[in-house]
Amino acid sequence: MARWGGWARASDGLPGDVQVRDVMTPAPETVTLDAPLTAVARLMAEKNIGDVIVVEPGTERVAGIVTDRDIAIRAVAEGRNPDTTTVEEIFSRDLVAAGPADSVRRVIDLMEDLKVRRLPVVEADRAVGIVSLGDLAVETNVGSAIAEISAAAPDR
């Protein structure tokens, strides 16, 4: 796994393996660093999603991710006003991401190691998708790995 710009990408693209691009959800939802938390929470509710990729304004370069848990723990539980608190104040900067050509097997192993249920898919510093346990469930050979990840501690 390589690290750069404060985040890392899983990469090994084994020949013959199913690739992340084959199972990911393309065109993930994104928000900019200056977005208020109420707007992000509304977007999550409307799209029925638990996370949104954070991008730098004007460049669309991936900066991190914000989850419903981030909003609950880092904002609401601390008594912050969600109308005036921005994503930049609470989002997770240390991001691990997959690439579209990465093998599904490698991504499952990585998700299990990190105890996460979803990973952004990044290419040339831009978000091109997101891969979740639900996406991976379509690959029937990985059912037991998904069960192991699901049994792990909740997302951070």
What percent of the chain clears pLDDT 70, i.e. is strictly above it? Answer: 78
List pLDDT tens digits, range 16-64: 478 999 999 999 999 999 999 999 999 999 999 999 999 999 999 999 9
List pLDDT tens digits, range 108-121: 999 999 998 889 99
Q: Where are the domains of the chain?
A: 18-151
In the chain, DSSP assigns E strands to 2-4, 7-10, 25-26, 30-32, 51-55, 62-67, 95-98, 118-123, 126-132
CATH of domain 18-151: 3.10.580.10
Confidence band of 134 (pLDDT split at 50, 70, 90): confident
